[in-house]
Structure 1
Amino acid sequence: MKIVEANFLTSAQSIIDSPSPDKAEVAFLGRSNVGKSSLLNTLTNRKGLAKSSSTPGKTQLINYFDIKFKTQNEELPYMYARFVDLPGFGYAKVSKSLKKEWNKNLTGYLEQRPSLQIFVHLIDARHPTLDIDKNVDEFLESIKRGDQIIIHAFTKIDKLKQNDLQKLKREYPKGIFISNLKKRGVDQLQSAITGYLFGN
């Protein structure tokens, strides 16, 4: 199964102005500058699909993308889902009141969106034990429904020495290890997503 089409649908400030939850959703979240936009573009094979900002933390909207998958089933040749690009957390230089509102809207989406099936938590492979990522993990575990899973995807592995990468893999045996640059781990991530959503 592979992605054959990916299109930007809309941006929303919160769950209130989000599109109808009529497709299974995969939310991508991580610290600002973790490589989220680059991964989405590599995953969908669409160069400018997700816009990366030169200013970390600038994206403050929830961005929805319609994704079409080609199956090997002649009776059901295509399957559909949505990828959701969430605002990066961490570095944002925004006013306290805006940040508070932003966090509230983000939390509302994560806790209340009925179509949300998968959390893809992106973690910089060079800094895997930051408190901010631990806090996000604890939060996701506390709100996760029985029909949801968390995937840990470690980005920028091309910047690690081989020894450090092997150590990371031992510490996180269920992790997916990604290099956008060398396109490593991307197929594995897509398989984990489609396997959970569509059971194949």
Structure 2
Amino acid sequence: MKIVDASFLTSAQSISDSPSPDKAEVAFLGRSNVGKSSLLNTLTNRKGLAKSSSTPGKTQLINYFDIKFKTQNEELPYLYARFVDLPGFGYAKVSKGLKKDWNRNLTGYLEERPCLQIFVHLIDARHPNLDIDTNVDEFLNTIKRGDQIIINAFTKTDKLKQSDLAKLKRAYPDGIFISNLKKRGMLDLQNAITEHLFGNQIF
């Protein structure tokens, strides 16, 4: 199975002005500057699909992308889902008032979106134990429904020494280890997503 088309659908400020929840959604979230936009562009093989800001924390909207997968099943050749690019969290220069609304809208989406199936939590491989990421993981595990999964994807692994990468893999045996630069780990991430969303429909 592979992604054969990806297109921007719309942006929303909150769950209230989000599109109809008629497709399974995969939410990508992480600290500002973790490499989320680059990962989405590499994963979908669409350069410029997700826009990265030169100012961390500037993107404050929930961005929806329609994704088309090609299967190996002749009776069901295509399957569809949405990728959702969520605002980066934990950026200090956002004003207190804006951050309050921002966090409320982000939390509302994560807790209440009925079609949300997968949380992809992006973590900088160079800083895997920051309190903010630990807190996000704890929060996601608290709100996660039985039909949802959390994927921890460690970005920027090309910046690690091999010994440090091996240590990280031992510490997080269920993690997925990503390098946008070298396109490492993209197939692992895509397979984890499609297996949960579609199961045996892909064969």
- Give the corresponding residue for 1:185: 185
Matched residues in 2 for 1:165 and 1:184: separation? Answer: 13
Percent identity (aligned): 88
Corresponding letter in the other structure for 1:115: C
Amino acid at match of 1:29: L
Whole-Å Cα distance in 2 between the matches of residues 67 and 196 of structure 1?
15
TM-score of the pair, normalised by structure 1: 0.99
Q: Secondary structure at the match of 1:28?
A: strand
2:9 aligned partner, one-letter code: L
Q: Count the aligned residue pairs.
A: 200
The one-character-per-residue Cα deviations of 1:88-126 (angstroms, maximum 9, x if unpaired) are 011252211111001000000000000000000000000
Q: 2:95 & 2:180 partners in 1: Cα distance? A: 32
Task: Please give the residue correspondences for 1:66-85 in structure 2 after superposition, counting only pairs within 5 Å.
Answer: 66-85=66-85
> In 1, Cα distance between the equivalents of 2:92 and 2:76?
43
Structure 1 stretches lacking a partner, 5+ long: none
Question: Which residue matches 1:166?
Answer: 166
Q: Secondary structure at the match of 1:67?
A: strand
Q: Secondary structure at the match of 1:199?
A: helix
Q: What SS does structure 1 have at the residue aligned with 2:15?
A: coil
Aligned runs of 1:2-151 on 2, under 5 Å?
2-151=2-151
Return the letter of the residue paired with 1:67.
I
Q: Deviations over 1:122-142 (max 9, x none)?
A: 000000000000000000000
Q: Root-mean-square deviation (CA), in Å?
A: 0.6
Misfit runs of 4+, over 4 Å: none
